[in-house]
Amino acid sequence: MEKVFVDVDTQVDFCAPKGSLFVQGAPEAVAASARLLAAAWGSGSVVVGSVDSHAHDAWEFHTNGNRGPAGEKPGFPPHCVKGTAGWLKLPETLPERFYFVPVVPDPDAARRVPEGTQAVYFEKEVYSLFANPNAAAVLDARCPPGPLAFVVFGVATDYCVKAAALGLLDWARSRPGREGSTVTVCTDAVAAVTPEGGRQALEALGAAGVALRTVASVLGA
């Protein structure tokens, strides 16, 4: 099966010690993620990913009274506000040619990705990359036919990594011809907001059918 590498939110605010929502263990996870990405770009594999892209009044933030669609209020500090330094991806996670897909419904989104693009990143305002309304169609267009082996890494295990992995399972199951696709989370290339949250997320992913493997085992397979 063709591998598709999925880079989740390796951004300054999450992964750099100076970031406003720094995740403990993120620098080590980024170093491992960079190994995966180097292998992906070296082999010409498909690379997709996500980036948190918030406005200053996002409902996740403790600095306002806004709440999510189900009344959620996680109370995070402001982070990944688009256009700020904290929103940027770390340089070791970016290829020479990349493309960002905005969070705006666009029936032509897949055709807008330039020829020769090495990685496509879906902007999102909530946890799952599939919150971007163009994600499913762009994946359809960029991924080769047949079953796929998704390799997921990044931050944070208990939020956006978990959501990405489960979303990819659902996407593959909803697509004719994708039967037999697999989703793997690289356990040494992720980091969690809390240790308990990370443990629970990995347990839930395993129960859902997501494989849990190391970077070395994925690259050596």
Cα–Cα distance for residue pair 61/40, rounded to 1 Å: 34
Contact assessment for residue 148 and residue 178, using Cβ atoms and an 8 Å cutoff: yes
User: What is the CATH number for 36?
Assistant: 3.40.50.850
- Alpha-helical runs (H) found in 44-157: 109-112, 135-142
Residue 142: what are its φ and ψ, rounded to 5°?
-90, -25
Task: Look up the pTM and report it.
Answer: 0.96
- Look at the alpha carbons of 93, 10, 138, 58 in this order and tell me if their dihedral is positive or negative: negative
Which residues in the chain come in under a pLDDT of 70? 221
For position 69, what pLDDT does the model report?
85
pLDDT over 70, % of the chain: 100
For position 221, what pLDDT does the model report?
58
How many structural domains is the chain composed of? 1
